[in-house]
Structure 1
Amino acid sequence: MYPLLFYRRGSYSSNPYQREIIVDGYYAMRKTPDSIVITTSFSTFGNTALEAEAANQDKLNMIKEELKDTGIKDEDIYIIGNTVTPIYKGDTITSFKATTDFNIQVYSFNTLLEYVNNAYANDLNIEEINFTLDDPQTYYYDALQKAVEDGVIKAEDIAKTLGVSIDPTPLMVIEVSNIKDFYEGITIRTPGEIDILKYGFIFVEAQVRETFVILTTPVQHE
């Protein structure tokens, strides 16, 4: 990962009379997720721990059968946790609650939407949705490079408007965006946020701040 300040040329502000142009470069690309991981949980109840567990297993089997109808295979379903907890009324155990947490991996946005709609009907709780790319770091760094190029174009346009020339190599480049924020941005923690990505795309965004030195010789316009 680039540090916050990832480029600095020479001695900054060595000339107190040096004039500069500072711009923000930005770039965004739209990518289709390679896969989507949905973390889901459900609970069942019983008078005994065994009853609660048995009901839980029956419901899991039912869910798996329904998922097969949507094209989701057994190998794309991962159980990540099972718990059984007593339910108290005062100091007395009145019943038991069995909970299963599992991940489902799907490969299209339409399958995700179908699963979400069916989840409500089956009393499933969607805990988290992760949109994944096979190589997200490469996409982010590509966007970062194009953001730098965008800053150069903006600085040159400003210099032309002012009637001056600039050194096209920036004096300093600061990474404003952050790859960590990008990773967090493709994780949805509440089902209502699905509307944000209703078209099924991940937006890879990068932003930099660039400083350019204004040269003393103005641009001569004919």
Structure 2
Amino acid sequence: MYYTYGPPNYGHRMYERQNNQQGTITVTGVGTVIVSPSIARIQLVVSTVSSSLEEAQKENTGRMNQALDTLQQIGVPREQIQTTSFSARPMYSYQDGNQILQGYEVRNEITVVTDDMDRIGEIIDRVTENGVNEVVSIEFSVNDPENFYMEALSFALTDAKKKAESLAEQLGANLNTVPLKINEQTASPGVGPAQVFKMVSTPIEPGNQSIEARLEVVYQL
């Protein structure tokens, strides 16, 4: 992604200010913003096994309804609960090369989204006491990561300017602080790799996340 300081040409993402003078300097600016997660996505599973598919489904439905009722009782709105996956499969064992049906497994996975970081432990404790028998993962993220990313971009440009000024001073050259070209090196805005914690114990501390932006900036000497 490129930016220009002249009239925009909306048909292209790369713009340069023309200058016939020789001598440029290219630096990389890095900007980082530390943020506290504001959203948690909790993946929960109800898994049941029975010799009969009908019985496995019946038990699974009962346990899942129990978990959903518990979530509503502790104040988690139904719209913050999503069914992620559902499966019913036969289970086999092998004896002397023969396939023997052992029973059926039914798995129902839901994702609970909450913005109350202080209640994650309570949510997990209550549902595992009432139907849920597997916590797959907890993923933390932030609201509106684009806003934090734009702030990181600003810091990256400031960092690039400081580096260019320092190098120009060491070279004994004058620096035009208006960039000739800016190349955004980050592939896409937003939070970096999600922090995922498998089967974490309560209480849960989400910690902080960093949002980083990198710019390659060309200046005229």
**Which of residues 212, 217, 221 is equivalent to 1:210?**
217
1:1-222 correspondence runs (5 A): 2=1, 6-10=14-18, 18-68=22-72, 70-90=74-94, 91-115=99-123, 123-127=133-137, 129-133=139-143, 135-179=144-188, 182-183=190-191, 185-191=192-198, 198-214=205-221
SS at match of 2:179: coil
Number of positions where the alignment pairs a residue of Structure 1 with one of Structure 2: 204
Q: What SS does the corresponding residue of 1:164 show, helix, strand or coil?
A: coil
Question: What 5-or-longer segments of structure 1 have no aligned partner?
Answer: 215-222
Identical aligned residues as a percent: 20
CA apart distance, 1:198: 4.3
* Stretches of structure 2 lacking an aligned partner (at least 5 in a row): 4-12
1:108-153 CA-partner distances (Å, limit 9, x unpaired): 32323444566777531314625242x3334323322331232112
Structure richer in helix, relative to its length: 1
CA distance in 1, matches of 2:136, 2:18: 52
TM-score (norm 1): 0.73
TM-score by length of 2: 0.74
